Structure 1
Amino acid sequence: MRTQIYESLRLRLQGSEFTTDDRLVDTEIAKEYGTSRMPAREALLALMSQGFLKQTSRGFVIPVLTPQDIRDIFEIRRLVEPDAAAQAARSMTDANIARLAAARQMAMDAGRSGDAKALMLANMEFRGVWIEAVPNPRLRSLIESFSDHAQAVRIATLKEADSRGVVLDGIDQLMKGFANRDGDAVKARLAAFIEAAEAIYFRGLEGENETAAAKGRS
């Protein structure tokens, strides 16, 4: 039961069902899943040990990432992901490519309808497929360990229409590289995509800070 609760909560965290204002309490989680307190608490502690949650005196909360945390995550992504994606491109099966194409279509449909959450989920699916295709299991684990921690970044970069356009273009360009099993093209496109995502995030953060400062002066 512990594993089931862990996997379920992790998916819910990935889907942004919880915010930094929410508190996850073991007794409430146990009641929700129809089990005793211990499996629920063990699942929450497992999520905490991997950095998904932080324990407080009144339950567990989602950690608030600082700007430096975000910079660190982007630095790791720049160093690791382009080469990993290139390996994945060269290892792509027809089934992998079909799944990527389906995720790309989901993203395009979400973009046309302006559904930011659906786009985020499609982006996560697209990303998950190519990560699965990385032949080095340790490299896969390293990338996955930062995927969930970057959730706040994905949410922030999909708030505005211009940002969603960058994401859609990135998925489209990556799809072409993966479909052709062109590792060099995928490496270059993902590196550019990561740079663009970082710029979008910090541009949005600066805008929020300026708005907050203006309100403080009024």
Structure 2
Amino acid sequence: MTDHERRPAARRVSRPTFSSLIRDGLLKRITSGEYAPGERLVETRIAAEFGTSQAPVREALRDLEALGLIESRPRLGSTVVPFAEQTIREAYVVRAALEEAATRLCMLRGAVPRSAMEKAITEMRRSAETGDADLMSASSSAFHRAVVEASENRLLIRAWEALQIEARTSIALMVLEPDLATVAEDHQQLLQDMVDDDVERACRHAREHQLAYAQLPHRPGALDTTEETR
């Protein structure tokens, strides 16, 4: 198979921005319970804490609202909403369908981005050795982004990006606390299925890989949920 990296313009190296760093910091406080449901998030206070202007704070709050973790109302500002496990499950069900389709499209095109995927797996193994969940989130997102972009289906790519994959991956890692070494090895098998050119097996694995996260048991007390944890 040919390597999708022959189109270097498709490969993008993301660098943390002020807004993403603020978003991730606030995200951790929300998912850990440090910020309780109903708590107001004051832009000026957050900006002072992070040593920045209000503009990146405002952008971070917009991202959190898109993720369903806060709500903003005129004259009332932003408040934390109850964090239910449905937030994770719904996103992974949609993501499963998108990544199954992306896997099929890039394999049928003979454009498996093997080098980019192998690089991401190397970083994932390093994150497992060091216990660096942030690196795992970034490298896992890079792995799946490579496959999605290799599909060359612009509508699919836009739909995938709209899910804010890296932020949702951070949520899943914080809340579900999976074994990082197992996560890395599962990605290695995803790549192997694609390299073996078994389209149906690779597509099934891509789908099941995402659906598994919708069904994992959650940390006791980590979520405010109205249904029993499976």
How far off is 1:139 after superposition? 0.9
Greater helix proportion: 1
Match of 2:206 in 1: 190
How far off is 1:132 after superposition? 2.1
Residue 125 (1) aligns with residue 142 (2): yes
Residue 70 (1) aligns with residue 107 (2): no
How far off is 1:136 after superposition? 1.1
Letter of the structure 2 residue corresponding to residue 155 of structure 1: M
Letter of the structure 2 residue corresponding to residue 204 of structure 1: H
Unaligned runs of 5+ in 1: 1-6, 213-218
User: Residue 204 of structure 1 aligns to a residue in which SS?
Assistant: coil
Q: Aligned in 2, Cα 1:129/1:80: closer, same or farther, shift over 3 Å?
A: closer
Unaligned runs of 5+ in 2: 1-15, 36-40, 225-230
Task: Tell me: higher relative CO, structure 1 or 2? Use CA pairs within 8 A at least 6 residues apart.
Answer: 2
Residue 11 (1) aligns with residue 24 (2): no
Match of 1:204 in 2: 218
Q: Aligned in 2, Cα 1:48/1:156: closer, same or farther, shift over 3 Å?
A: closer
How far off is 1:180 after superposition? 4.7
Residue 55 (1) aligns with residue 64 (2): no
2:141–2:169 Cα contact (<8 Å) kept: no
Counterpart-to-counterpart distance in 2, 1:134 and 1:152: 26
Residue-by-residue CA offset, 1:12-46 (whole Å, 9 max, x unaligned): 267x3332146461575498445xx5x45763575
RMSD in angstroms over aligned alpha carbons? 3.6
Letter of the structure 2 residue corresponding to residue 144 of structure 1: E
Q: Aligned in 2, Cα 1:55/1:173: closer, same or farther, shift over 3 Å?
A: same
Counterpart-to-counterpart distance in 2, 1:78 and 1:165: 21
Match of 2:7 in 1: none
1:82–1:187 Cα contact (<8 Å) kept: yes
Counterpart-to-counterpart distance in 2, 1:117 and 1:64: 24
- The TM-score, its normalising length taken from structure 1, stands at 0.67
- The TM-score, its normalising length taken from structure 2, stands at 0.64
* Worse overlay, 54-63 or 84-93: 54-63
